[in-house]
Amino acid sequence: MIRTIDHNRMGRSRLEWLDSHFHFSFAEYYNPENIHYGALRVVNDDLIKAGTGFDEHPHKNMEIITYVVDGELTHADSMQNRSTLHRGEVQYMSAGTGVAHSEHNWGSGPLRLLQIWILPDRDGYEPRYGDMRFIWNDRKNRWLHIVSGEEGGAPVKIHQDMNLYVSALSEGQQLAYRLSPFRQAYLIQIEGSCEINGHTLHERDAAEICGENLTITSNSDDAHILLFDMEADEED
């Protein structure tokens, strides 16, 4: 089963400095039938104006991934970490027992990022931070495994049984993905357009997938996708 999600039907927030699409209930957007998908609790597609950002604020008991789509992200936190990330790079923070951080766009142009919150397998972990500066071509026309659980093989490891893969496909290129039994997937069309088992996704669209292996064909030369593979949730 594949259920496609048109980005025009997602939750929205438009502020002077921030334009967001909410994949799941967040802030002023609340839909009791769209709280989470498996352990995936938040995906916000944020466009942040230059010279602005999120001032210091707290988090607790959440695995937080930030994927930079375009622009420059500057992070600072209460664990004394400081970093600046660019297109295709990944930041990870396990909020655990509590941490505060800020995220700003100190660049000259707009910053687009995916803010991702994943429910941990339990509460109370020690907070930690990491980032990875992946080479862009390592995802060209193939899957790049960027995040996994503690026992997985990705360079970024989180406290949850979930895998994240990205790819950047040239026009006409195909990519397959085998979804194991008792697993489900969530796919985001970050940029460009693709056909997924006969379903068309455009930029910022998404799809919920269970019980199907995937054949993905790029309709454009900038087909940039992100796939979450996670344990199936009986509620979904």
pLDDT at position 108: 95
The count of structural domains within the chain is 1
pLDDT tens-digit profile of 87-121?
Answer: 999 999 999 999 999 999 999 999 999 999 999 99
**Quick check: is 56 in a domain?**
yes
User: Is residue 210 a part of any domain in this protein?
Assistant: yes
Identify the bridge partners of residue 21 per DSSP, sorted by sequence position. Answer: 12, 45
When the pLDDT of each residue in the chain is averaged and rounded to a whole number, the result is 96
Whole-number pLDDT of residue 33 = 94
Tokens standing for 85? 């990330």
Task: Give the model confidence (pLDDT) of 37-71 as tens digits.
Answer: 999 999 999 999 999 999 999 999 999 999 999 99
- pLDDT value for 132: 96
Q: In whole angstroms, what is the distance from residue 115 CA to residue 26 CA? A: 12
Q: What CATH code is carried by the domain that includes residue 133?
A: 2.60.120.10
- Residue 145: phi and psi, rounded to 5, are -80, 110
DSSP string of 108-173, one letter each residue: SS-EEEEEEEE--SSS-PPPEEEEE---GGGGBTS-EEEEEETTSSSSEEESSSEEEEEEEEPTT-
Please list, in sequence order, all residues whose beta carbon lies within 8 angstroms of the beta carbon of residue 194, skipping any fewer than 6 positions away: 169, 200, 201, 216, 217, 218, 219, 223, 225
Q: Identify whether 13 is part of a domain.
A: yes
From CA 124, how far away is CA 61, in angstroms rounded?
7
| CB crowding 24-37: b at 16 or more within 10 Å, else e | bbbeebeeeebebb
Q: Is residue 93 part of a domain?
A: yes
pLDDT score of 235: 52
**pLDDT (average), residues 28-40:** 96
Three-state SS sequence of 83-108 = EEECCCCEEEEECCCCEEEEEEECCC
> Residue 162 domain-assigned?
yes
Q: What is the pLDDT of residues 140-166, one digit of tens each?
A: 999 999 999 999 999 999 999 999 999
Inside any domain, residue 236: no
Quote the CA–CA distance of 184 and 181 in Å, as a whole number.
8
Q: Is 29 inside a domain boundary?
A: yes
DSSP string, 196-211: ETTEEE-TT-EEEEES
Answer yes or no: is 121 within a domain.
yes
Distance CA 160, CA 232 (A): 13
Domain of 185 in residue numbering reads as: 2-231
End-to-end CA distance of the chain: 11
